[in-house]
Structure 1
């Protein structure tokens, strides 16, 4: 596969707050980090939060590089889908990215490969950038590392996604056993999974496009383990849960993404 040096892909750090925080907490967090995150040409940053916070977050980050990320989206632009969120409405309020296919959505809300694909195409249709979660057990592919395997969840999620559209997609690998467990994948495990995902993209599109799409790691990410994980050749950033609830830890992760080989600044003195 054609290799493009990872410096050609801008690192991406995404906080996933799930249903944590209240409005005052959100406002306070943004006040602490807005002026501290670097230009998005250096490191992109995003925060995924509950729908009811998103409009205010768009307002409060208008002068900040931080991207506002929705945690879910419906596959129809409008209609009789009580309790769902329209991709058209998300775009209208200024959301830029949306998480799709998270393990928790699959486990608790019966999301399937089919509905993930519907949501991905709906998001792209409305100008939103999907961050597609993959929780597939990559160990099942270990014996096929040199046989160009296709990671099933990636292939299913991208069905019908064009060459032009895939450039607006990010893939996040989150092994189910690592989410919220406090035990992250090793850097080697994360790299192998990211490489398999990139091989799948090469098979679906082309080796060049596969090298352009960002692949993130998620699952018990902390400032202590993020440096080694983000140093891997195929990993372009992290999707972070618990650690990203703390503004100081979030900024540490952003600084690590800027250059994983440079010691992290001391956020205690920020």
Structure 2
């Protein structure tokens, strides 16, 4: 297996979306915090109201905290928005930017995603930049153009050092929350295109590349051995500790097999 993003641990990120409750969160986070480390980096991204609870419950554990979004400005008259410095103050280390649901439902265009990415870096957060195409775009042969456009808008605003520290998640929109997953060949081809786009901006940069789209313990079994996959962005399965940890174990096992 090829080296993964400068030998960084493979990244397993749970995006809870608009789900959770104080009681359910406590049980889930306790299970994750107590689970033995498997050699992967473990991240959870709860909804904004639960970030403080999660930060308290995860204190001293190996589970990193992330947010699902941040505002495009550091402060100001933006009712309902949450700024990157606020997230950092709460203990977040990661923030998701450009998720397809944000792009489709909340008007996050490429320029706004670029602004959010820059603010995240400025305030010590690692952005998890999501890119991907719709089914219509894929079937029309437009996937490369769509992904290149999404990437160029962000990468063109960053220096090589920040590009290297970026996390990029490929999420084919037609596979999110549908139970349908891209094939190994589709994932590998998409991540190859993303790596080529990165190289055009910073030849030496090796950002971590994730796959997101109905990731389960079953799909993790064939995703984990793929050389270009540095981890996964997990949706529904991240709400169940057993399922989330099974995905992590699949990636840990693939890493051990590669070393053996």
Question: Fold match, TM over 0.5?
Answer: yes
Q: What TM-score does the superposition give when structure 1 sets the normalisation length?
A: 0.87
Gaps of 5+ in 2: none
Q: How many residues align?
A: 252
Residue in 2 aligned with 1:27?
26
Which residue among 193, 198, 202 is the counterpart of 2:199? 202
**Residue in 2 that maps onto 1:213:** 207
The aligned residue for residue 237 of structure 2 is: 243
- d(CA) in 2 for partners of 1:70, 1:143: 28
2:194 is paired with a residue whose SS is helix
**Structure 1 residue 159, shift from structure 2 partner:** 2.5
* Residue 35 (structure 2) pairs with residue 36 (structure 1): yes
RMSD of the TM alignment (CA)?
Answer: 2.2
* Structure 2 match to 1:229: 223
C-alpha distance in 2 between matches for 1:45 and 1:59 = 16
Q: Which 4+ residue blocks in structure 1 deviate beyond 6 angstroms?
A: 141-144
SS of 1:260 mapped into structure 2: helix
Q: Deviations over 1:13-37 (max 9, x none)?
A: 0011001111111111011121214
Q: Return closer, same or farther for 1:262/1:81 CA change in 2, 3 Å cut-off.
A: same
Partners of 2:9 and 2:16 lie apart in 1 by: 22
For structure 1, the 5+ residue unaligned runs are 264-270
Is the 8 Å Cα contact of residues 228 and 260 (structure 1) preserved in structure 2? no
Give the alignment of 1:1-270 within 5 angstroms.
Answer: 5-6=3-4, 8-38=7-37, 42-136=39-133, 140=141, 151-206=148-203, 208-209=204-205, 212-260=206-254
CA deviations over 1:94-119 (Å, ceiling 9, x no partner): 11100000010011111100100010
Query: Deviation per CA, 1:182-208, whole angstroms, max 9, x where unpaired?
Result: 0100111111101110111111100x3
Structure 2 SS opposite 1:132: strand
Deviation digits for residues 206-255 of structure 1, max 9, x if unmatched? 0x31xx21100011111011121121111111101111111100110111
